[in-house]
Amino acid sequence: MEARQDDGTRVDCLTENYAIEVEFAKKWREAIGQALHYAFKTERQAGIVLIIQKNSDESYWKDLKNTVEHYQLPITLWRLGF
């Protein structure tokens, strides 16, 4: 369920453990910052659900995954679609 924060931002999905940003593949870079910010604001773990709509979106998934792993970012990743 979406949850509005005191700074006006909205977490796409807030669970007991996670603050999750749901984003289309080509916006993976923005998703990283948003997920970390939401996790900070809610004192939960950061998560990203990346929406994969077509074969060419696979490269975005790989870029997101590699960036999170390289910098050891505390973000859990899920992929949705295709």
**What is the pTM for the complete model shown?**
0.93
Question: Tokens 């289309």 — which residue?
Answer: 24
Per DSSP, which regions of the chain are E strands? Answer: 3-4, 10-11, 13-14, 18-24, 45-52, 75-81
Q: What per-residue confidence (pLDDT) applies to 6?
A: 79
Looking at residue 43, what is its pLDDT? Answer: 96
| 64/50 Cα distance (integer angstroms) | 9
Query: What pLDDT score was predicted for residue 82?
Result: 78
Q: What is the pLDDT of residue 65?
A: 98
Residue 4's pLDDT is what? Answer: 80
Q: Please report the pLDDT score of residue 77 as a whole number.
A: 98
What are the extents of the domains in the chain? 3-81
Residues of the chain below pLDDT 70: 1
Measure Cα distances from 58 to 25, 41, 55, 75 in Å: 8, 30, 6, 19
